[in-house]
Chain A
Amino acid sequence: MKIKLELFGASRDFSNKDHLELNVKDQSSIDDLRNEIIKYIDKNFQGNENFIKVVKSSAFCSENNEIISDNYKITKDQKIGIIPPIGGG
């Protein structure tokens, strides 16, 4: 499955673009997606610990702008947003 991972907040430092393109297996969970992002960071940023912390503490959102749980199964190509810890105001 092709995932277009939209980047927000601290995760914007993962790329010069506003998204990453990742591949995951059919029926992958959000935890599997997290591991795929960490692999990308290992490869492109020598396992930058701060970046990995961001990934581990982030939530994810669907194309419908709903937060999705770690049990969510990815069964089609889709856009997913990474939501690092927030702090507006």
Chain B
Amino acid sequence: MLHTKIVDSKKEKILTSNAEKFIKDSKFGASIYFLGTVRNINDNKTVTGITYDSHDEMVIKSFEEIYNEADQKLDIKDKAVFIEHAKGYLKLGEISIIIAVACKHRDQAYVLSRYIIEEIKKRSPIWKKEHYENEESEWLKGNPIANEKV
């Protein structure tokens, strides 16, 4: 069971309550909520906010691929996964990503949650532009996209 969405910060916010509703089921004994939030310092610079950009279709596709791979690579068949990533400007402390997972057992939930965030970092076309206190801003360098089909 999978939910994915790019959340436009101009229109709405990522809410943990939505994730809770989606993954809650008495057949699961372990739930983990991973939240990425906007931090105030990066590389010794004072950050005031981040603008996120994304290739929406490719991001959603990458979330689906990562979810499907978890079946084969991690052998976790029975699971609920809720992934949302923000797009647009976020202030300090606001949620940029939520990955909520529910599995039968805690070891599966920890492995699955970590797997999803690490794969998103490698494969999902999302970019960050940091804004600093001196009103400057900068796109973060990032890493070349990993794609097995290349």
| A binding-site residues for B, Cβ under 8 Å | 8-10, 12-13, 57-59, 61, 65-67, 69, 81, 83-89
Contact = CB atoms under 8 A, between A and B. Distances in A.
B120 A9 contact: no
B145 interface: yes
Dominant SS at the B interface?
A: mixed
Interface of B: 36, 52-55, 57-59, 61, 85, 96-97, 117, 120-121, 123-128, 139-145, 147, 149-150
B20 to A, nearest CB: 21
A85 B53 contact: no
Given A8-B127, A12-B53, A69-B150, A86 B61 contact: no
A80 to B, nearest CB: 12
Given A8-B53, A12-B53, A87 B140 contact: yes
A87 B144 contact: no
A9, A10, A67 — which one has the most chain B CB atoms within 10 A of its CB? A9
A4 B147 CA distance: 23
Contacts of A58: 144
A85 B124 contact: no
Closest 3 CB pairs of A and B: A88-B126, A9-B127, A87-B142
Given A59-B145, A61-B58, A88 B139 contact: no
A67 B150 contact: yes
Contacts of B54: 8, 88
Given A8-B125, A8-B127, A69-B150, A85 B143 contact: yes
Given A66-B149, A87-B140, A87-B142, 18 more contacts: A8-B54, A8-B125, A9-B53, A9-B125, A9-B142, A57-B144, A59-B150, A61-B58, A65-B57, A65-B58, A67-B147, A85-B142, A85-B143, A86-B142, A87-B121, A87-B126, A87-B127, A88-B120
Nearest to B55: A8
B97 A83 contact: no
B139 A9 contact: yes
B72 to A, nearest CB: 21
A86 B126 contact: yes
